[in-house]
Chain A
């Protein structure tokens, strides 16, 4: 009717599946790139991946992908079946990666909604030539070629002839009744059963598997086989057996020459055995000896190449089962658990319960149980969105491989802590920055081999990629043992580009100087390469990291290397917070940030002439903020001895905040302040309390920054 077949969900599945397969493929290849050839497991895996992609892209009608994967599948089929030696390994690796890149490119186009119009013919040609090369390399040695990889399953059996004096030759013909269906399949059944006992055979029509029209030919002319075996004709007949529709079977003796000439002449002696007579023969057959093993020898085409020892293969990790879930559903689930936590608070802190004299022991017990379960539920749901960094780190392998090869450097990538889990959202945002940092390390950081040898370093450069969880944050560190950052060069460049005005170098701390490289438009690379040097990378990196609330720290030692640390807070939609009152407003501070609460006396307060206040606590001086003044709140306590001072810490910086009173410690659901309200420094979100009122969440970093700005 012209209705469009809805391919959307199919397309999603195809894209997702193919992406996964290509990722696995790349990993397998990169794992084995340093060895001299692929082992059996890898070959199988690559073959399977290409086979699947070929099939699914065929269904989706993306011909160029099908062709390319088919070609590579051919190569790996050949490798799998005939185990050739001396396959140029790096070339093969290159071809595989080339194919993978091509398909990825096409998949990207499809994802964007464009047509995948890449030209595959060049890649196909190259792989074809490669395949021919390794095949002809084999022929020169005189080995046998494995059969062509056709779509026919199972393949034709190439059974090498054995010389044996007692071999007999027969021509067997099977005729079926006129109305029999699928004679070609029945004929094949006969062939299949016979192959167990014959040494060699040919048959006509030959295309019984692939060509349905052969069925009619068989009906008309019969199915003919030329057979060489040790068995007698009666054994042959019994092996062929009796299938419905079979009219009769003819067996004729024939000579060796006739056998070798094939189906080009007629036979002489005819022994026609009607199926009706079978009963007579069956008694005779039972008396016949069963063929003993060893009577019939069928030579296999297996070459003698030994399989790689199992112990040399990396131990397979126990496979985990995964299920793919739409991210929207997970988001909805996260929202709902947030609402649940709030509802729980509303119930447990309900004013109705505050009736004096009410015995609530049973209620408290039950409430405790409820809280426990809710917390656990919350933990599990939060963990659902967490993904391990393994995949992201694997991608870095590829980059190091590519860039180091192209620049002629020898670099090893060490990965630590890849099992660390972070929220999916974060992974998406740090993938690009990480790639950029690694590229920088390879391009700028690690010196060329000659320079390294001259400096007395190991000519093989090393980049370490480490991830760890610490103090509610995820640290991702990129460490290289290259030439490090030159402070003077950085300062000069920044000054020349007008990024820092006229301040002297001494005014900056070391860390600040290193941060120059993150300024837009900064680059000390003399030449722009394909990979870096344009000076637009690092500031984008920093922006991406900041968009998930993290920051980038840079440390370096000239001549020894550099270390870039990404610090990213775990997305905490639900945090432990302390609720406090200032005037008519309620605020919440994250429990982790609170160091202590103190009541202070007037003599601990120091006031500067410009209005700044400080608190002396245990001989340390801390900046002091009165929230009521900062935020112009009314009706709050002003006498320092009436309220409470909260000492807060953020990244080794301390600050004291004056509040009226503490209310409670509880779990709160962080909700963003509606975007309509423009960003207020010092507030990072809001939440609803048990009684329905709204509390504002204080952002310590913002408060501290505000103080410093003054």
Chain B
């Protein structure tokens, strides 16, 4: 009995637990844990940076801070879209890396109980690429929301490893 009370107490303490920021992307509805979300800004002029991955669109300037932004649709290898006034950038902070996510439309904040999150079924290779970024599904009001893992989303292990190799060879060649 006391354990339950303790749990409830803890849940109340962490008011952000179980809350997800949801947004629309090409017909699907995605969610991201609100603990990672720093702020949401409207679409801004993006400065392109040459010779980088296609899903990193460039840099934006928010109150003096220069932040890289990712186009989530390109990340999911979907059709890229035209940015409209309604396009938003969700600024997330994952392990001290600050990145902006360009999304179609913001839906809202939902609360999902931990126990109601369903693990995604493992899809065959023809399944959508987004499956590796999704850590769970939540059913809210007859709608299924795909819950994203921000770390997987921004991290691309292949690129990171490649980057190191490249810089390594650069050093020894110049020496």
Contacts and interface: CB of A to CB of B under 8 A. Distances in A.
B37 interface: no
Given A542-B175, A546-B171, A674-B98, A688 B64 contact: yes
A675 B56 CA distance: 13
A632 interface: yes
A694 B97 contact: no
B148 interface: no
B137 interface: no
A519, A630, A676, A696 pick with most chain B CB within 10 angstroms: A676
A631 B50 contact: yes
Interface in A673-688: 673-681, 683, 686, 688
B175 A585 contact: no
A342 B65 CA distance: 12
Contacts of B52: 677-678, 680
A221 interface: no
B174 interface: yes
A688 B163 contact: no
B51 interface: yes
Contact of A680 (B45, B49, B171, B174): B49
B167 interface: yes
Nearest to A542: B175
Nearest to B156: A678
Interface in B141-175: 154, 159-160, 163, 166-167, 170-175
Interface string A499-540: 000000000000000010011000000000000000000000
Interface string B58-85: 0111001011100000000000000000
A676 B96 CA distance: 10
A150 interface: no
Contacts, number: 78
A584 interface: yes
Given A679-B163, A686-B59, A694-B59, A585 B97 contact: no
A632 B52 CA distance: 11
A674 B96 CA distance: 11
B59 A680 contact: no
Interface in B35-53: 45, 47-52
B47, B159, B166 pick with most chain A CB within 10 angstroms: B47
A493 interface: no
A696 B171 contact: no
The contact size tier of chain B is 20 to 34
A546 B51 CA distance: 23
Contacts of B175: 515, 518-519, 542
A633 B50 contact: yes
A677 B68 contact: yes
Contact of A342 (B48, B64, B173): B64
Contacts of A709: 173
Contacts of B159: 678
Given A677-B56, A692-B61, A671 B66 contact: yes
B99 interface: yes
B64 A683 contact: no
A705 interface: yes
B156 to A, nearest CB: 10
B163 A585 contact: no
A696 B47 contact: yes
Contact of B68 (A518, A676, A680): A676
B64, B97, B154, B175 pick with most chain A CB within 10 angstroms: B175
A693 interface: yes
Interface residues of A, number: 35
A586, A632, A696, A705 pick with most chain B CB within 10 angstroms: A696
B48 A584 contact: yes
Contacts of A671: 66
Contacts of A688: 61, 64, 66
B51 A631 contact: yes
Interface string A327-357: 0000000000001001000000000000000
Nearest to B58: A694
Nearest to B99: A676
Contacts of A675: 97
Contacts of A696: 47, 49
B72 to A, nearest CB: 15
Interface string A620-639: 00000000001111000000
A342 B160 CA distance: 32
B24 to A, nearest CB: 25
Contacts of B170: 681, 705
Interface in B2-60: 45, 47-52, 56, 59-60
14 contacts: A339-B64, A519-B175, A584-B48, A585-B48, A632-B50, A673-B49, A674-B66, A677-B49, A679-B167, A680-B50, A683-B50, A695-B47, A705-B174, A709-B173
Interface of A: 339, 342, 515, 518-519, 542-543, 546, 584-586, 630-633, 671, 673-681, 683, 686, 688, 692-696, 705, 709
Closest 4 CB pairs of A and B: A631-B50, A694-B47, A678-B163, A680-B51
Interface of B: 45, 47-52, 56, 59-61, 64, 66-68, 97-99, 154, 159-160, 163, 166-167, 170-175
Given A671-B66, A678-B160, A694-B60, 18 more contacts: A519-B172, A542-B175, A584-B48, A585-B47, A585-B48, A585-B50, A630-B50, A631-B50, A632-B50, A674-B59, A676-B154, A678-B159, A678-B163, A679-B163, A681-B170, A694-B61, A695-B47, A696-B49
